[in-house]
Amino acid sequence: MGVARDIALVFLALQALIAALVPLVFIVTLAYGMFRLIPAVRRFLLRAQESAFHVYEVVDDVASKAVSPLIALHASVAWIASVTTRILTFGRRNRR
């Protein structure tokens, strides 16, 4: 009975070893594929980076053009409020 138990334990250990070996082979294959793929993809990644930078510049320019009138309007309203406050409080300051 002891020999059968030992043989069954060896088969269970082999099964666990194979189950652990499959993900290891997958990870090693993936790493090797990335190692081989990076030089081929490098120029496409540089092109994508340049395109993304161009899109960023266009979006920044459009946003600047869209927001600048609102900023100018806000500055004008703040200037008018400041001048109005100074005019209305001019006489009060001199009386004190």
Distances (CA, A) of 14 to 6, 25, 50: 12, 16, 52
Quick check: pTM over 0.85?
no
Question: By three-state DSSP, how is residue 62 classified?
Answer: helix
What are the structural domain ranges in the chain?
2-95
Q: Which segments of the chain have a pLDDT < 70?
A: 91, 93-96
What tokens appear for 85 in the block?
């406050």
Distances (CA, A) of 15 to 11, 20, 24, 91: 6, 9, 15, 96
CA quadruple 7, 8, 10, 12: dihedral, nearest 10: 170
pLDDT value at residue 6:
83
Going 33 to 39 to 42 to 43, the CA torsion angle's sign is: negative
- d(C-alpha 80, C-alpha 6), whole Å: 94
pLDDT value at residue 96:
53
Give tens-digit pLDDT for 22-41.
Answer: 999 999 999 999 999 988 88
pLDDT value at residue 28:
95
pLDDT value at residue 84:
93
